[in-house]
Amino acid sequence: MPTTRRGGHQARTMRALLLVAALAALATALAVSGSPVGTFYTTFKIPPDVQPGQELKSEPQELEGRLWQLKVYPRGYRTASKAGFASAYLQLHESSGEGSGEAGSSCTSSFAIALLEDGSDEAAEHKSCDEHDFNNVPRWGFMKFVEEEYFTEPQLGCVSETDGSVRLRVAVGRPGDAPAVTAAAAGSSAQGGTFSSAQHVSKQQRAAAAQARRDRAEVLEAAFGEPVGLENQGNTCYMNSLLQTAFNVPRLRGAVLSAPKAGGALGGLQRVFEDLRAGYGAGSTRPLTAAMGIDPRYQQDAQEFGRFLFMSLLEAGDEVVTEAVETTFSGYLENYMDCINVPFSRNRPEPFYDLSVEVEGLRNLKESLDQFTTPEELTGDNRWRTEPHGLQDARKGVRFISFPPFIQFHLKRFRYDMNTGDMGKVNSRFEFPETLDVSPWVSEPGGEACSNPAAAPLNYSLSAVLMHVGGVSSGHYYAYIRPPHKSQWYLVDDDRVTPVTAKAVLQDAYGGGQRRGVGGLLGGLLGRKRGGQGTGASAYMLQYVRDDSVPARSKAPEP
């Protein structure tokens, strides 16, 4: 059909409008995909006597037609000050009016804040928010931005040693640009960030960064407040008890808390330790069970979980955490075979992270260590066949070469019953001291008694007792802990924490059928039996700390 003049004009107008709309949509798409990310830097001089809740604020900075202001609280805002964290917030400055100036208009943005290393544009720590409407709430940020030591301790590498100042970088963009905003604040070139110096870091810079990390870890080893509990997810009492004893080790605590944010077991443990250090209330182990693939509905053996956890930490590949595990928990023993009648022997040193010692038929830890190091004589039909000397009478055994700063003893409370064909619990009384000198069990490699005067005595103090009440197929774990810098003991039973005396700890932990303490109550509920076999409460793991490896303890009287 032929088109009229008027109809042709309308068609051309419609095509023009459609073309304009398409161009506008294309321009919008291009603007969104390539929209700029604004950044600004600001420096705060931290007063030496900065107080909890004290606010420091930057000069207003203009980005994309709006004024922004950064506010920091070096000693924390509100509850963060009690937990040892600094706070940081981005605020839409009042001079910007209501967003773009139009009533009801939106000012929804993504933003990120980074704390920079002293004298560098490298980000030591950063946090980001993918989307926030600043018209609705003009100030938004992070109550727990970083540990407050980042703002107060020059040895961590962020506070200037010359004037005590810190420098921060802020990036702001549209919600769809959140990855680029985070990258710009963090300094990553992967998302089009402002710089990347990873390829140009010298050996000296890497060494300096590693030392700064160790310095930060040392700061985070410092004493914390009153212990808090951990929520039980269903059957995670074994995990809660083991984690409480691990958190009670300053070197491990500092290494884990100072680690860069990560996934896996290290990241999950870091989040648990952050909860325990914050002290708000009972912490959660969900990040750790999720990271390690643990089903919280099923109970596990506490000692086996501890070995699994430490193996996972070593596999994480973090240098400082690996150093902490190996230098804190690793000792050395030597497996040996010595011929009795000819001068021939074979020795094999190996590290240990915990020691499993016998309980059944023994009265105390000293007898267990004596038995552990008593050699077996190989004679008669059991003689040792050696290549140079043929069959020889020999002694086969284990001797300790060195003990670590923290010793973990696993008490063998479960055994196989040959008569019934079942596993049973050994609940006979087994004593252990509050202080332990291990020098009688230390030998030089090759079997000579340790002759170094500086190495003797090797005095240790009890710092944690992991308890088990119940039988083989069911039961409950809880722990007694004494922070190394304190004399006060605490009963930690999942989310409940109670101060107790050292006497109460030993009465409950020795086993043997007594119905004292929390173990007596739980044992009764679980059908506890008197005597050497049963379901009673008793120590399952012991943790000792070498006296010269921790600060002096306070001498507060026991309640």
Per-residue pLDDT of the chain (559 residues; tens, 9 = 90+): 444 444 454 445 455 544 445 444 444 443 434 456 899 999 999 998 899 889 999 999 998 788 999 999 999 988 766 667 899 999 998 766 544 444 445 688 999 999 999 888 888 888 999 899 898 889 999 988 988 888 988 877 899 988 999 999 999 998 888 888 888 988 764 333 333 333 334 456 666 777 777 887 887 777 667 899 999 999 999 999 999 999 999 999 999 999 888 789 999 999 999 999 888 789 999 999 999 999 999 999 999 999 999 999 999 988 899 999 999 999 999 999 999 999 999 999 999 999 999 999 999 999 999 999 999 999 999 999 998 899 999 999 999 999 999 999 999 998 877 777 788 889 899 999 999 999 999 987 655 544 444 444 689 999 999 999 998 878 999 999 998 878 899 999 999 999 999 999 999 999 986 544 455 555 544 443 333 334 589 999 999 999 988 765 544 434 3
Q: Are 416 and 423 in contact (CB under 8 A)?
A: yes
AA letter at 345: S
Please report, for residues 31, 108, 207, 306, 432, the alpha-carbon distance to residue 325 in angstroms, rounded to integers and kept in the order given: 51, 45, 20, 12, 25
Please report, for residues 85, 504, 544, the alpha-carbon distance to residue 538 in angstroms, rounded to integers and kept in the order given: 39, 13, 17
Q: Are 152 and 50 in contact (CB under 8 A)?
A: yes
Tell me which fold the domain 38-191 belongs to: 2.60.210
CA distance 434 to 539: 13
Neighbours of 543 (CB within 10 A): 24
For 167, the 3-state DSSP assignment is: strand
For 8, the 3-state DSSP assignment is: helix
pLDDT digits (tens, 9 = 90+) for 493-551: 999 999 999 999 999 999 986 544 455 555 544 443 333 334 589 999 999 999 988 76
Tokens for 280, please give them: 């708000």
Beta strands 376-378 and 355-358: pairing type?
unpaired
Those residues with Cβ within 8 angstroms of residue 87's Cβ, 6 or more apart along the chain or in another chain: 72, 73, 76, 77, 80, 141, 142, 143, 144, 145
- Based on the residue annotation, tell me whether 200 is a catalytic residue of this protein: no
What CATH number is given for 331-376+405-549 in this structure?
A: 3.90.70.10
Within 13 Å of residue 400, how many CA atoms lie on the same side as its CB? 22
DSSP state of 230: B
Q: What value, to the nearest 5°, has the Cα angle with vertex 326 and ends 304 and 461?
A: 80
309-316 long-range contacts (CB < 8 A, ≥24 apart) are 309/242, 309/246, 309/265, 309/269, 310/353, 312/264, 312/265, 312/266, 313/256, 313/265, 313/266, 313/269, 315/265, 316/262, 316/264, 316/265, 316/266
- Based on the residue annotation, tell me whether 237 is a catalytic residue of this protein: yes
**Rg, C-alpha atoms of the chain:** 31
For 48, the 3-state DSSP assignment is: coil
Domain boundaries, the chain: 38-191, 227-240+261-322, 331-376+405-549
Residue 171: closest CA among 61, 31, 292, 312: 61
Q: Virtual CA dihedral for 532, 533, 534, 538, nearest 10 degrees? A: 50
For 159, the 3-state DSSP assignment is: coil
pLDDT digits (tens, 9 = 90+) for 414-451: 887 777 778 888 989 999 999 999 999 998 765 554 44
The residue from 237, 339, 410, 468 that is catalytic is 237
Above pLDDT 90, what percent of the chain? 53
Tokens for 72, please give them: 């920091």
CA distance 67 to 107: 12
Chain-centroid distance, C-alpha 333: 28
Please report, for residues 167, 204, 258, the alpha-carbon distance to residue 211 in angstroms, rounded to integers and kept in the order given: 21, 10, 12
Query: Residue 87: its pLDDT value, please?
Result: 93
AA letter at 28: T
Residue 412: closest CA among 354, 373, 451, 457: 354
Please report, for residues 143, 228, 293, 463, 508, the alpha-carbon distance to residue 286 in angstroms, rounded to integers and kept in the order given: 22, 16, 10, 26, 30
CA distance 51 to 363: 54
